[in-house]
């Protein structure tokens, strides 16, 4: 069983002195959270909980995390080498933003869930108009952040290619997909023109 | 603040988190997970004797807890409630892994009151190994009673056995530990 | 409540004069307000300064720039709404609002490029901007704050509260906070100082995270970044167990502890315990560097 070396060498005079708690060797919360969100997405009527008082965009973003997480772990078994070039290309073109200067590879190749792709595509469609309505300095900052997210996704996916079972990288990748959706929904919600 | 006051404060805080989690707040549920994960994993690991299975059981426990949280009564102990779920999940996992249930020997002796003290101090590593080597029924009863502090009745209920059977298993555990560790267990 | 019922409810509307064709104008109104009521303020551009006071009134003073149509101030069943109204067509203008509210009010401020400042408000605060900066005083009540690119400065007095701060590219500076903090940014920098932390969850993609503070007994501290650096200086009376993981970043610490490698796989981990180990501290990055030290 696991336990730090120094703790295991300590002597006790009673079984009651043994610590009941043993910390798991890795953080299990990301997978627990992903499964909870997957359940909430697939069976919302079964949850006997009152609705949260959150703006609808956050509920939508939270529901999407489940599909992202599922897609990532499906993606583990669909490493780049195993996929055909045409599959990758069609996934890329389906998600590509079509405006100059924007990150072009907000790539959802690993996320095959149709509902996620549909919701993300809708956000991407309005992204250009929303960005254009922002003050120039703000627009530049947001686009820099989107580019940072894209770089993060690429780096994480590349690293996962070398070490697919790495729980740390998986957790960071799910975080990054979540953060991208957060940015897209935040920009979607901003209305630079006519007041709030 | 006295210990009783600190305990009351902790329970109030926990009850507030449970209430928030019931509204769908996964951040609040994560706080509960962080608070209880160690004890749940420790229970799963000692029952399954396998780190991968213990991880699966721990995850399953918290996912089942999330589903059942609206039915949890906050005046009860969340810790005990989680352990009940963890025991059920661990037993089911073991049954799946080895469908043939080990035979339940009837031990002489009732395993009466025992403080589980050791005649001479023993290294934790050695004790844990000895507990791990116990037959499943004896190990389960010992872990719940001696490590987690549940009464015979509570442990029996969690394990789905009669209280007398649980006491017999504890008696067996005590005998086997004495043989293995070569110290008197009183 | 449906719109028709809302319209039929006791609504008292105090409207300003219509916008003049040119030039700045001032606006002033005072309305009665409940001590623990709700105040909603919205302004697209300019500034919003909110201060708490002891009177059961909301007082609005505003300098309205060219292009601002009017300021609407209304009150209904304990909710006071202050809204800068711009014309539907044409370019919007700027308005500088100074609003005094009962200090225990639940305050919501929504702005686009307006900078927001709050002081002396002891009720719950919800502050949202797109590009406006936010400066707020914390006073023991919950705070939810969101900005896309605005920078955030928060100053507390060590009273525990639940703080939720989120930016896309704005920097966040928090000093003398306490309680539960959830802070997230993509490329902004998080600089956080907590007098007493019960739980901290900090997340960034490329921005750096700097934390200094005291962890309460049993505290839970979690910071992750993809490529940003994590710099943590923590103290804890009851100690904490720490776990630091990075895929390709460097781990440094002040405890003379040596990170372990993962065999032939990339990555480093550092685990250990400070003091009694009552709290938990987890730091994770992909390529960002991590430094963990005691708070002096």
* Residue among C128, C168, C273 whose CB faces A145 most closely: C168
The reply to whether CATH 1.10.1740.10 applies to domain B3-97 is yes
Neighbours of chain A (3+ CB pairs under 8 A): B, C
CA-based nearest residue to B163, from B148, B178, B179, B144: B144
Spell out which residues of chain C touch residue A23, defining contact as CB-CB under 8 Å: 241
Contact indicator for B170, B138 with CB cutoff of 8 Å: yes
Contact indicator for A25, B51 with CB cutoff of 8 Å: yes
Is there a contact between C286 and A195 if contact means CB atoms under 8 Å apart? no
Confidence of residue A195 (pLDDT cuts 50, 70, 90): very low
The pLDDT value recorded for residue A9 is: 76
Chain C interface includes A148 (CB < 8 A): yes
Confidence of residue A113 (pLDDT cuts 50, 70, 90): low
Query: Bridge-partner residues for C180, per DSSP?
Result: C162, C199
Domain segments of chain C: what residues? Answer: 138-296
Tally Cβ neighbours within 10 Å of residue C174: 25
CA-based nearest residue to B81, from B89, A40, C209: B89
The pLDDT value recorded for residue C19 is: 37
Is there a contact between C201 and B31 if contact means CB atoms under 8 Å apart? no
Q: Dump pLDDT digits (tens) for C234-259.
A: 999 889 999 999 998 999 999 888 88
Supply A15's token pair: 């079984």
Residues 5-64 of B with CB under 8 A from C: 27, 31, 34-35
Supply A144's token pair: 């820099």
- Helix (H) or strand (E) segment spanning residue C40: strand C38-43
The pLDDT value recorded for residue C90 is: 53
CA-based nearest residue to B90, from B50, B35, B34, B142: B50
How far is residue C144's CA from residue C146's CA, in Å, rounded to a whole number? 7
Contacts of A6 (CB under 8 A, 6+ apart): none
**Mean pLDDT of the C218-222 span:** 94
Q: Dump pLDDT digits (tens) for A35-83.
A: 888 877 775 544 444 433 434 444 444 444 444 443 343 233 322 333 3
Contact indicator for B58, A85 with CB cutoff of 8 Å: no
Integer-rounded Cα radius of gyration of chain A = 21
Is there a contact between A195 and C131 if contact means CB atoms under 8 Å apart? no
Percent of chain C at pLDDT exceeding 90: 73
Identify the residue with better confidence: C268 or B110. C268
Q: Dump pLDDT digits (tens) for A150-171.
A: 888 888 888 888 777 788 888 8
Question: Across chain B, what does the average pLDDT equal?
Answer: 85
Q: Dump pLDDT digits (tens) for C35-50.
A: 999 999 999 899 999 9
Identify the residue with better confidence: B54 or C257. B54
The pLDDT value recorded for residue C22 is: 43
The pLDDT value recorded for residue A171 is: 86
Q: Dump pLDDT digits (tens) for C69-103.
A: 899 999 998 999 999 998 876 566 899 999 999 99
pLDDT at B9 exceeding the cut of 90: no
**Residue found under tokens 């530990």:** B177
**Mean pLDDT of the C165-171 span:** 93
> Coil, strand or helix: which one is C114?
coil
Backbone angles phi, psi at C95, to 5 degrees: -135, 135
Is there a contact between A15 and B58 if contact means CB atoms under 8 Å apart? no
What is the nearest CA distance from A66 to chain C, expressed in angstroms? Answer: 19
Q: Dump pLDDT digits (tens) for C98-153.
A: 999 999 999 999 998 899 999 999 999 999 998 899 999 998 899 999 999 999 99
What separation in angstroms does the CA of A111 have from each of A108, A116, A177, A188, C213?
5, 8, 10, 21, 39
Contact indicator for C247, C225 with CB cutoff of 8 Å: no
Burial of C227 (0-12, 13-18, 19+ CB in 10 A): buried
What is the nearest CA distance from C225 to chain A, expressed in angstroms? Answer: 8
* Residue among A9, A14, A24 whose CB faces B37 most closely: A24
Contact indicator for A134, A142 with CB cutoff of 8 Å: yes
Neighbours of chain B (3+ CB pairs under 8 A): A, C
Contact indicator for A22, A3 with CB cutoff of 8 Å: yes
Percent of chain C at pLDDT exceeding 70: 89
Spell out which residues of chain C touch residue A138, defining contact as CB-CB under 8 Å: 113, 130-131, 148-149
- Helix (H) or strand (E) segment spanning residue B85: helix B78-97
Confidence of residue A175 (pLDDT cuts 50, 70, 90): confident
Query: Bridge-partner residues for A115, per DSSP?
Result: none
Spell out which residues of chain A touch residue B25, defining contact as CB-CB under 8 Å: 52
* Residue among A12, A29, A49 whose CB faces B127 most closely: A12
What is the nearest CA distance from B12 to chain A, expressed in angstroms? Answer: 21
Chain C interface includes B75 (CB < 8 A): no
How far is residue A182's CA from residue A58's CA, in Å, rounded to a whole number? 8
pLDDT at A146 exceeding the cut of 70: yes
Closest chain C residue to B33, measured at CA: C220
* Residue among A1, A18, A49 whose CB faces B70 most closely: A49
Question: Which top CATH class is B124-181?
Answer: mainly alpha
Closest chain B residue to A47, measured at CA: B67
Chain C interface includes A8 (CB < 8 A): no
Is there a contact between B24 and A47 if contact means CB atoms under 8 Å apart? yes
**Mean pLDDT of the C160-164 span:** 94
pLDDT at A5 exceeding the cut of 70: no
* Residue among B23, B67, B117 whose CB faces A14 most closely: B117
Here the ipTM equals 0.87
How far is residue B36's CA from residue A159's CA, in Å, rounded to a whole number? 32
Confidence of residue C229 (pLDDT cuts 50, 70, 90): very high
Query: Bridge-partner residues for A27, per DSSP?
Result: none
């Amino acid at each position: 069983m696991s336990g730090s070396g120094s703790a295991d060498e300590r002597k006790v005079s009673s079984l009651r002195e043994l610590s009941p708690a043993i910390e798991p060797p890795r953080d299990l919360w990301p997978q627990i959270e992903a499964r909870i969100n997957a359940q909430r997405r697939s069976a919302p009527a079964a949850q006997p909980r009152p609705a949260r008082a959150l703006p609808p965009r956050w509920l939508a973003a939270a529901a999407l995390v489940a599909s992202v997480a599922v897609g990532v772990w499906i993606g583990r078994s669909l490493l780049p080498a195993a996929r055909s070039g045409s599959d990758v290309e069609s996934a890329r073109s389906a998600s590509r933003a079509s405006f100059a200067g924007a990150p072009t590879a907000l790539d959802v190749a690993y996320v095959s869930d149709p509902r996620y792709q549909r919701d993300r595509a809708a956000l991407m469609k309005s992204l250009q108009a929303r960005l254009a309505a922002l003050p120039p300095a703000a627009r530049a900052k947001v686009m820099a952040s989107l580019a940072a997210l894209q770089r993060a996704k690429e780096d994480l996916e590349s690293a996962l290619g070398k070490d697919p079972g790495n729980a740390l990288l998986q957790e960071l990748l799910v975080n990054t997909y979540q953060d991208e959706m957060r940015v897209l929904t935040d920009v979607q919600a901003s209305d630079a023109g006519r007041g709030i | 603040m006295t210990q009783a006051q600190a305990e009351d404060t902790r329970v109030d805080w926990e009850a507030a988190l449970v209430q928030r989690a019931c509204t769908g707040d996964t951040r609040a549920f994560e706080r509960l997970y962080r608070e209880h994960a160690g004890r749940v994993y420790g229970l799963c690991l000692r029952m399954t004797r396998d780190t991968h299975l213990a991880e699966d059981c721990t995850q399953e426990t918290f996912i089942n807890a999330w589903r059942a949280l609206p039915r949890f009564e906050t005046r009860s102990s969340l810790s005990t409630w989680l352990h009940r779920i963890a025991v059920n999940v661990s037993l089911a996992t073991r049954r799946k892994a080895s469908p043939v249930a080990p035979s339940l020997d009837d031990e002489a002796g009732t395993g009466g009151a025992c403080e589980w003290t050791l005649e001479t101090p023993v290294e934790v590593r050695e004790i844990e190994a000895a507990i791990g080597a116990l037959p499943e029924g004896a190990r389960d009863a010992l872990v719940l009673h001696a490590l987690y502090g549940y009464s015979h009745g509570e442990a029996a209920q969690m394990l789905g056995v009669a209280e007398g059977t649980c006491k017999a298993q504890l008696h067996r555990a005590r005998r086997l530990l004495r043989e293995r560790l070569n110290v008197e267990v009183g | 409540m449906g719109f028709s019922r809302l319209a039929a409810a006791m609504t008292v509307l105090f409207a300003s004069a219509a916008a003049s064709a040119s030039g700045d104008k001032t606006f002033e109104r005072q309305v009665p307000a409940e001590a623990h009521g709700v105040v909603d303020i919205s302004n697209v551009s300019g500034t919003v300064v909110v201060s708490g006071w002891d009177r059961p009134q909301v007082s609005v003073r505003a300098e309205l720039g060219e292009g601002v149509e009017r300021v609407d101030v209304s009150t209904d069943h304990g909710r006071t709404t202050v809204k800068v109204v711009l014309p539907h067509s044409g370019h919007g203008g700027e308005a500088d609002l100074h609003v005094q509210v009962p200090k225990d009010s639940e305050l919501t401020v929504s702005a686009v490029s307006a900078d927001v400042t709050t002081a002396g408000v002891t009720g719950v605060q919800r502050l949202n901007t797109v590009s406006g900066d936010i400066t707020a005083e914390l006073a023991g009540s919950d705070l939810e704050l969101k900005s896309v690119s605005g920078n955030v400065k928060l100053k507390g007095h060590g009273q525990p509260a639940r703080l939720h701060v989120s930016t896309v590219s704005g920097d966040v500076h928090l000093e003398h906070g306490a309680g539960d903090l959830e802070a997230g940014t993509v490329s902004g920098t998080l600089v956080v100082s907590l007098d007493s932390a019960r739980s901290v969850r900090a997340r960034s993609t490329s921005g750096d995270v700097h934390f200094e503070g005291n962890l309460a007994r049993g505290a839970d501290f979690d910071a992750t970044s993809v490529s940003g650096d994590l710099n943590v200086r923590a103290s804890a009376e009851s100690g904490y167990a720490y776990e630091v993981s990075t895929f390709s970043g460097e781990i440094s610490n002040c405890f003379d502890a040596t990170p372990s490698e993962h065999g032939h796989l990339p990555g480093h981990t550092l685990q250990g315990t400070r003091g009694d180990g009552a709290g938990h501290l987890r730091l994770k990055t992909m390529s960002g560097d991590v430094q963990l030290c005691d708070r002096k």
